[in-house]
């Protein structure tokens, strides 16, 4: 079975995803889809301080914050998959709306791959931005650090290898680097 997610349309408050499922039974193939709404309502107030890690936080602080919330290191890395359909507005307001990868309308693993690529575009600033691999996308300092830290680098690479080897697709939530 192959599962592909694609953004069907965007609304200021929600994103509609269509999940395409290609399955086979003997020689019969069929495609099915499930439309679902994901996202969150627009914020009406600032979140409490320290609720989410900042893009300027170091890896130890980020992992500690997720751990405090009951989220393992592996699950924290998997949660960052949300960056594949996200964009920034506050890290660099001059380029508000910049996506974090080259496929912002598709929930996929491209985000993980592109964070590993050498950065030559954008800027490195005190707000949490570091140079990214493609013009028009923004790379967070925190993502860059998580992808390269010895405690998380093997977890970061796992979604890429899982995507390119779907027959072995498993979520390894207990994997330790």
Structural element, H or E, at residue 114: helix 110-116
Mean local confidence (pLDDT), 143-159? 93
Which pLDDT belongs to residue 47?
77
Instruction: Classify the phi-psi angles of 52: left when phi > 0, otherwise alpha if psi is within -120 to 50, otherwise beta.
Output: beta
Which pLDDT belongs to residue 162?
64
Mean local confidence (pLDDT), 123-137? 90
Tens of pLDDT, residues 22-68 = 444 445 544 545 555 556 676 787 778 888 899 999 999 999 999 99
Question: In the predicted model, what is the mean pLDDT of the chain?
Answer: 77
Q: Scanning the structure block, which residue is given the tokens 């950065």?
A: 119
Q: How far is it, in rounded angstroms, from Cα 31 to Cα 22?
A: 5
Q: Is the pLDDT of residue 14 over 90?
A: no
Tens of pLDDT, residues 61-88 = 999 999 999 999 998 998 898 898 888 9
Q: Scanning the structure block, which residue is given the tokens 């390269």?
A: 148
Cβ 120 vs Cβ 22: under 8 Å = no
Local structure of 5: helix, strand or coil = strand
Which pLDDT belongs to residue 63?
97
Q: What is the pTM of this model?
A: 0.72
């Amino acid at each position: 079975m192959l599962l592909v997610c694609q953004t069907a349309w965007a609304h200021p408050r929600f994103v509609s995803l269509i999940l395409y499922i290609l399955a086979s039974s003997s020689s019969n193939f069929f495609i099915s889809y499930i439309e679902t709404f994901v996202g969150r309502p627009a914020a009406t107030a600032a979140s409490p301080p320290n609720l989410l890690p900042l893009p300027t936080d170091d890896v130890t602080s980020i992992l500690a914050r997720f751990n405090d919330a009951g989220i393992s290191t592996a699950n924290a890395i998997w949660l960052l998959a949300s960056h594949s359909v996200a964009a920034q507005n506050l890290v660099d307001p001059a380029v508000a709306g910049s996506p974090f990868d080259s496929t912002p309308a598709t929930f996929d693993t491209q985000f993980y791959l592109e964070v590993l690529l050498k950065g030559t575009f954008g800027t490195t600033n005190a707000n949490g931005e570091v140079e990214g691999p493609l013009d028009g996308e923004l790379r967070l300092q925190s993502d860059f650090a998580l992808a390269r830290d010895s405690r998380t680098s093997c977890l970061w690479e796992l979604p890429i290898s899982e995507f390119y080897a779907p027959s072995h697709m498993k979520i390894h939530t207990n994997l330790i680097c």
